Amino acid sequence: MRSKIDAVSGKRNFHARQFLPGFLLRFYAKIRGMNEILPHVLELKEDDRTFEHPALAAGGAPIELEIGCGNGRFIAARAAKNPDQTYLAVERMMERLRKCSRKAQQGALHNLTFVRVEAGRFVRELLPDHCVKAMYLFFPDPWPKRRHHKNRFFQREMCDTLCRIFVPKGIMYISTDHEDYFKEMYKYLTEDPRFDEIAPLIREEDEQTDFERLFLSKGDPIYHCAFQLR
């Protein structure tokens, strides 16, 4: 059962934001205390305690979610190919979200919403229970120094969060160039009896992320894995 969620931003406003003219979007941003508002982008404020999206209403079909989507190359390509699937993508950098917004507008991707929020808080605290069928984590910031490891998105506790937000058979897809971070995530997931390892997602060129293309062009190794909730 999904948890009940309260309205924070007003569902009607949220829908309208994808179609409103610029001056109305700027006015909306002003009254919500935001710097900028972009079509297809929902910005959460630090004191928002709930997240409402039409696709997360009780009884809705499960969503697919990308964490740290960068310029949105992967998720925009996916959303264009699967118009009946709802996609959310989390990113915190405004300049990247501008590019994401442009891609979604150009492709008229009304099944894709970008969310500006801290990704860890979003999955731990704001997503309702059992609403995600696939989560994509591609080239997350590795925080290479040991004293910074605590900042990594995927800690051991993330396995518990996945169990809460995933529907049965939900899949976690991971790709990274960072061997140490990869080994850590792989260890957490293989040690957790609630997950089975499955074939990773090796993407065709049109679905490769910008960081992936950069590493591939340099000939760097890339590590992929995927785990499915039992």
Ligand X SMILES: C[S@@+](CC[C@H](N)C(=O)[O-])C[C@H]1O[C@@H](n2cnc3c(N)ncnc32)[C@H](O)[C@@H]1O
Catalytic annotation, residues:
141
* Parallel, antiparallel or unpaired: strands 223-229 and 195-198: antiparallel
Residue from 16, 58, 93, 216 binding ligand X (CB under 6 A): 93
Q: Binding ligand X by CB under 6 A: which of 210, 223, 224, 228?
A: 210
Give the closest residue to 132 by CA, choosing from 105, 109, 158, 153.
Answer: 158
Spacing of C-alpha 131 from chain mean position: 13
Measured CA to CA in angstroms, residue 5 lies from 55, 58, 77, 79, 212 at distances of: 12, 9, 29, 25, 36
**Contact between 196 and ligand X per CB under 6 A:** no
C-beta closer to ligand X: residue 26 or 45:
45
CB of 93 to ligand X, least distance (A): 4
**How many residues sit in the footprint of ligand X (CB under 6 A)?**
19
Q: In this complex, which beta carbon is closest to ligand X, that of residue 68 or of residue 128?
A: 68
Q: CB 67 → ligand X: shortest distance, Å?
A: 7
Contact between residue 167 and residue 134 where contact means Cβ atoms under 8 Å apart: no
Q: Which of residues 122-181 bind ligand X (CB under 6 A)?
A: 138-141
Subset of residues 109 to 128 that bind ligand X, contact rule: CB under 6 A: 118-120
Tell me if residue 168 falls in helix, strand or coil: strand
64 binds ligand X (CB under 6 A): no
CB 48, min distance to ligand X, A: 14
* Helix 179-191 and helix 158-165, axial crossing angle in degrees, nearest 10: 60
Strands 63-67 and 132-138: parallel
Q: Which of 212, 225, 226, 229 binds ligand X (CB under 6 A)?
A: 212
**Footprint on this chain of ligand X (rule: CB under 6 A):** 68-70, 90-93, 96, 118-120, 138-141, 209-212
